[in-house]
Amino acid sequence: MTDTMTRPAAPARSGLGTLAAPRGTATKVAANVVLLVIALCFVLPMAWVVVASFDAQATLSFGLPDAVTTANFAAIMTPELTWLPLWNAFVLSAGSGAITVVVAVLAAYPLSRYRMRFGKYFLYSVLFGTCLPITAIMVPVYALFVQLNLLDSLPGTIFFMAATSLPMAIWMTKNFMDSVPISLEEAAWTEGASAMQALRRVVLPLMRPGIAVVFIFVFVQAWGNFFVPFVLLLSPEKQPAAVSIFAFFGQYGSVAYGQLAAYSLLYAAPVLGLYVLVTRISGSAFALAGAVKG
């Protein structure tokens, strides 16, 4: 998953081996040891989630269970506790992902293909939108949703989440589209295709991996989002897993650590899977950060 990240570094360093040999080896050993210590510190909090989920007597501290059990998973797998919230999370994430991708592709096409006088200003606003701290606007968004009568509405929440991920999605989609050569469309144009036909038949098929990356990016963000549905969705039967897991934590979390951990693991698994998928598609473990960088 991560072997591609420092690929360019390897050949550059190899020529130095003889030059810095005696001190170099000591430095390298130290670097490896330090990295392993850091990795251990980073893995400990996460390891608790995994270990506790299989432990019938889980506590808040990391500790190997006396007996491995799947009872925690069995206990939480009920429709109202797990399946409905996971389904809601899927509807929210897939819905906002689909809307975002369609709207972002449409917007990116003129921005990528035409020199427009205001295109630059639009891109500046989009960039500004990527920076806006969303938690800062949640209180006014709540007030706005009260006025628009959209509170506790799944479609309203989906459109809001699509809008908040749109700036980043437009930015990423435009960058992917810029790398599709325009000469192919020009051929389509001379055969009488309209701009939208050229976009659908020529450009989109060529940037399928890019679109997949944008969709997964939005999906993962929406899946993991806690604050937005926490504020905008009030009835338990509409809330996604992130919110219901928090409610569970408030009600039973102080006793049933094992079940909380099992629920967390179940809920986190799709995101981890999708992340691995993105690294496969884009051929780089750091695709998401690279895209975020602009």
Partner 1 sequence: MAVSSRGVARVVPLAPAVVLLALFMLGPVIWSFYGSFTNTALTGPTALNPEWIGFDNYVALIGDPDFPKSLWLTVVFVFLSAVVGQNVMGIALAGLLRSAVKPVRSIASTVVVAAWVLPEIVAAFAAYAFFHSEGTLNTLLGGIGITGPDWLYSTPMLAVILANIWRGTAFSMMVYSAALAEVPPELTEAAQLDGANGLQRLAWVTLPVIRRSISTNLMLTTLQTLSVFTLIYVMTGGGPGTDSSTLPILAYQEAFKFAQVGYGTAIATVMIIVGGIFSVIYIRALRPEVD
**83 touches partner 1 by CB under 8 A:** no
Give the x/- contact pattern for partner 1 in 273-292, rule: CB under 8 A: --x---------xx--xx-x
Strand partners, 55: 68
Range 34-73, binding partner 1 (CB under 8 A): 34-36, 38-39, 41-46, 48-49, 52, 59-63
Per the CB < 8 A criterion, the answer to whether 106 and 214 are in contact is no
CB 240 within 8 A of CB 228: no
- Interface residue with partner 1, options 81, 86, 101, 166 (CB under 8 A): 166
The reply on whether position 90 binds partner 1 by CB under 8 A is: no
If one asks whether residue 192 binds partner 1 (CB under 8 A), the answer comes out as no
Q: Which stretch binds partner 1 (CB under 8 A): 70-78, 79-87, 156-164, 207-215?
A: 156-164
CB of 227 to partner 1, least distance (A): 5
| Residue choice 3, 64, 66, 192 for contact with partner 1 (CB under 8 A) | 3
How far apart are alpha carbons 241 and 263 in whole angstroms? 9
Q: Does 231 bind partner 1 (CB under 8 A)?
A: yes
Segment contacting partner 1 (CB under 8 A): 66-74, 136-144, 184-192, 202-210?
Answer: 136-144
Residues 236-265 that bind partner 1 (CB under 8 A): 242, 245-246, 249, 257, 260-261, 264
Residue from the set 227, 237, 277, 280 that interacts with partner 1 by CB under 8 A: 227
Q: Give the burial class of 9: count Cβ atoms within 10 A of its Cβ; 0-12 exposed, 13-18 middle, 19 or more buried.
A: exposed
Q: Is 28 in the site for partner 1 (CB under 8 A)?
A: yes
The type of residue at 196 is M
CB of 212 to partner 1, least distance (A): 17
Q: Least CB distance from residue 49 to partner 1, whole Å? A: 5
Specify whether the CB–CB gap between 229 and 157 falls below 8 A. yes
Smallest distance from partner 1 to CB 23, Å = 9
Residue given tokens 């926490």 in the structure block: 230
Binding status of residue 131 toward partner 1 by CB under 8 A: yes
- Between CA 202 and CA 113 the distance in angstroms is 13
Candidate ranges 65-73, 77-85, 121-129, 206-214; the one touching partner 1 (CB under 8 A): 121-129
